[in-house]
Amino acid sequence: MLATGVKGNSLTFVCLLKSCGEQCDAKLGRQVHCCIVKGGWSNVIVDSAVAHFYAQCGDVTATSTVFDRMASRDVVSWTTMITAYVQHGHGDKALQMFPTMVAEGFRPNEFTVCSVLKACAEEKALRFGKQLHGAVVKKLYKYDIHVGSALVTMYARCGEVFGAQAVFDKMPRRNTITWTSMISGYAQSGYGEEAVLLFRKMKMRRVFVNNLTIVGLLSACGSMQSIYLGKELHAQIIKKCMGDNLQVGTTLVWFYSKCGEHSYAARILGAMPDRDAVAWTAMISGYSNLGHNVEALKSLDEMLWDGVTPNTYTYSSALKACARLEALRDGRRIHGVVNMTQAFSNVFVGCSLIDMYMRCGKVNEARRVFDAMPEHNLVTWKVMIAGFTQNGLSEEALKYMYLMQQEGYVVDDFVLSTVLTSCGDLQLKSDCISFLAQ
């Protein structure tokens, strides 16, 4: 087009950017952006398309830069920026931006509202979500099936499953996403029977069932440890050729592991065409939770041979197995790998390392891990104190109990009883009782 001397217009650039974004062709998209800047084609529509392109390519910084430099903005540009933040894990920034958008006189559309509700769900910002729900009820913003589904998801993800049900019941129309959000909400909140009942209603009304619906229902079966219903669902998965889906396969592995059927779980994992860290971790944590610690460590080795990088949950589950086996050599090997990754800064991995070293009698190594951790939480302190008592170091346990209190943590009954039980020396018991009297 350019070679023939034909000049583009705004629509040409918008179409090009849309194509680049869909294909994640960052190089060509940037070249188009340069042409827009050099040719002076910038306007609110073109700039919004540029911002959307960068968001599709995962470059939130570039999206923000384009947005900040826009001479004028509209609802689409604001929604593009808010959605970009939400989709790339910056829900807090999206929630900060939304009031600014409203204050500047822009009325959010249904896409804006859906994105902000998703941010509320991710950030567990229930109060913000309720305020937005109130505005929707007052008809300040447009309400449709997508907004209704986003409200159901928001309440469910924030643990307000009955609030989600109230929204669900009042919806004049529902789609697969709405039903799936409600089923998943019940499953995640431990209401497995309600999730199953809702699924049966969904089938009676002949609503299309997708992979996420199956995942939500399997989660419900796992929480109830309903092996028969789960196997029935597994049969339907095979019948509908859903077994190759990574998320469905991973949830099946988790379900069978949860129900103690580790041979089924291993068979499904082995048959999966693609296995990611989540699938392997479902298997490893399943073995670990069932006390099959040797198998858990073997699965970790197989995962590494498969070329899959473990995540923080994988390391925690594997270290839990090492602790139970008192497998110091394996634990140190995992520690060496963890030290070379970002996982070392994770507080749960740190707790697992401390527990492993304490159970293996390596108190000084556990202490070094504790001291090197960038942050501690209540569980970290409890693991240290319990480890000292397991190794007969009552004075150290008492010392750390005092340090824990000085750091602002409440010393609960578990810590007190653990330390008091270990204090065989009368003076130490007296010190512990004095602490109780404070």
Q: Who's near 412: CB < 8 A, 6+ residues apart?
A: none
pLDDT band for 40, please (50, 70, 90 cuts): confident
Give, as one character, the DSSP assignment of residue 141. S
Tokens read off for 320: 């839990």
Token pair of 101 as six digits: 């958008």
Half-sphere exposure of 364 (CA within 13 A, CB side): 0
Q: Which one has a higher pLDDT value, 41 or 222? A: 222
Task: Pick the closest to residue 292 from 284, 300, 281 (CA basis).
Answer: 284
Location of structure tokens 């709405």: 178
Instruction: With beta carbons less than 8 A apart as the criterion, state whether 196 and 219 touch.
Output: no
Distance between CA atoms of residues 42 and 264, nearest Å: 58
Fold of 276-374: 1.25.40
Percent of the chain at pLDDT > 70 equals 93
Q: What global pTM score does this model have?
A: 0.71
pLDDT tier, 50 (very low <50, low <70, confident <90, very high otherwise): confident
Give 1-15 pLDDT, tens digit per residue: 555 545 666 777 778
Pure H helices in 7-138: 10-23, 26-39, 44-56, 60-69, 75-87, 91-103, 110-123, 126-137
Question: DSSP state, 345?
Answer: G
| C-alpha torsion angle, residues 80, 86, 90, 95 (rounded to 10) | 80
CATH 1.25.40 maps onto the chain at 276-374
Nearest CA to 387 out of 375, 376, 396 is that of 396
The model's confidence at residue 423, banded by pLDDT at 50, 70 and 90, is low
* Encoded tokens for 43: 């306007």
- State the Cα torsion 329-334-339-344 to the nearest 10°: -120
Q: Is 233 helix (H, G, I), strand (E, B) or coil?
A: helix
